[in-house]
Amino acid sequence: MPYKARLKTGEPRKRAKPGYAVTNAHEYNESLKRRGQLSLYCPDGDLKALFINDTPYQKGVSGQSRTYSDAYLELIFIFYRLFGWGMRQITGHMHEFWALRGLDIGVPSFGLLSERFRTLEVQVKQRCARVAERLRNGEAISLIVDSSGMSFGRASEWHRQKYGRDASQTPWRKMHLSIDPEMNVHHIAITEDNVSDEAGLNAMLAVDANVDCVIADGAYYSIAQTEARSACGVLPVIPPPANAVVHNQPATRWHDHLVRYIKDKGIHAFRNKYGYGQRALVEAQISRIKRCIGARLLTRKTESQQREGVIIANLVNLWNSFGKAVCVKNA
């Protein structure tokens, strides 16, 4: 019996829930310690030359160029998201951070940080050497997609200022996430709560990689999108609705195949054959983000929240590069 149905009926499990043991406890403990070493979040090289533009005024050029580079602002917002402090507190931390290292690097004001963050150019980075090498070699990867809600501070006040009335429910944002089976984030998007999973799927698959399989739950199912991906050589492991029927049309070949297979052999046979059980990985990743980084967005403007999502993804990928737990099922 499926998990949710068993919860409603109260029927006990037919088999005992399996336990898991960590086989690399020492290495995993060391990787957890490395998350607190702040120097690992900084790039290498001459940081002042990388972060600060010493000549914002150029002769013969109208206006002033930016004093602080995008790489510097991205580093500040990594600490901002990592600690969960206010913007003023993070500027004070950065002053102390550079002073303790004997570096004469200025820190932008919190007002400039808030304004620049809305237009900051940030991309999801792959920190694991093995994954980066696979992508460079053009190897195919599988993507697992899901979404979850995220609250944000002073949401009711934001709703009142934008719409001129109180919200009937607490406003929230939707976090769309696509990862590979090794738990590395490849794309993340923060959208309004009215963006459906099906509408956000194309953006989740728009990654700079060769994708051979996409795994998602039934909320992402669409006959048109599923057939289009199947025709392009991408295996769509997305279960159709329970009431789906066979159309026997040239444009519904994959849909008809899935419906027939599930009716003949059952939904569990579909999950075992196509590896649908890997979808639990993206749910675990979402839980990891909310427990370790936070279930609340620190910014309020949509543009800033979209960039905050990328910062979260880069943090998760960096932690994966430090090391991960290797678990095996107990006998």
The stretch 51-61 carries a mean pLDDT of 74
> CB of 82 within 8 A of CB of 67?
no
Question: By the 8 A CB rule, do 185 and 209 touch?
Answer: no
What number is the average pLDDT over the span 209-236? 91
Q: What is the token pair recorded at 245?
A: 């029927």
**Residue 311 pLDDT greater than 90, yes or no:** yes
Residues 144, 282, single domain; the answer is yes
Does pTM surpass 0.75?
Answer: yes
Domains: count for the chain: 2
- Domain-embedded: residue 216: yes
The predicted model gives 42-65 an average pLDDT of: 78
Residues 269 and 215 in one domain: yes
Domain extent, residue 57, equals 43-117
Domain identity same for 111 and 201: no
Q: What is the pLDDT of residue 63?
A: 63
Whether 111 and 134 map to the same domain: the answer is no
Identify the CA nearest to 69 among candidates 91, 44, 47: 47
Q: Please tell me whether residues 144 and 278 are part of one structural domain.
A: yes
How far, in Å, CA of 150 to CA of 41, rounded?
Answer: 25
- Of the residues 76, 93, 117, the one at which a domain ends: 117
Tell me the C-alpha to C-alpha distance, in Å, between residue 43 and each of 49, 72, 75, 103, 208.
12, 10, 9, 14, 23
Mean pLDDT confidence for 118-127: 91
Strand partners, 179: 144, 185
- Mean local confidence (pLDDT), 87-105: 92
* DSSP per-residue codes, 226-287: HHHHHHTT-EEE-PPPTT------GGGHHHHHHHHHHHHH-HHHHHHHHTGGGHHHHHHHHH
- For the cut 90, the answer to whether the pLDDT of residue 45 exceeds it is no
3-state DSSP assignment of residue 20 = strand
User: DSSP 3-state helix, strand, coil percentages of the chain (rounded to 5)?
Assistant: 50, 15, 35
Q: Kindly state whether residues 61 and 155 are assigned to the same domain.
A: no
Is 109 in the same domain as 140? no
Note whether residue 308 is domain-resident.
Answer: no
Same domain, 272 and 188: yes
Segment 113-123 shows an average pLDDT of: 91
Q: Please tell me whether residues 138 and 279 are part of one structural domain.
A: yes
Average pLDDT over residues 124-146: 88
| Burial label, 34 (beta-carbon count in 10 A; 0-12, 13-18, 19+) | middle
Residue 183 forms part of a structural domain: yes
| CA 236 – CA 299 distance, rounded (Å) | 35
d(CA 311, CA 122): 8
Of 64, 45, 44, residue with least CA distance to 54: 64
DSSP conformational letter for 18: P
pLDDT of residue 60: 67
DSSP 289: H
Surface-to-core class of residue 182, CB atoms within 10 Å of its CB (0-12 exposed, 13-18 middle, 19+ buried):
middle
**Res 64 pLDDT > 70:** no
**pLDDT above 50: residue 1:** no
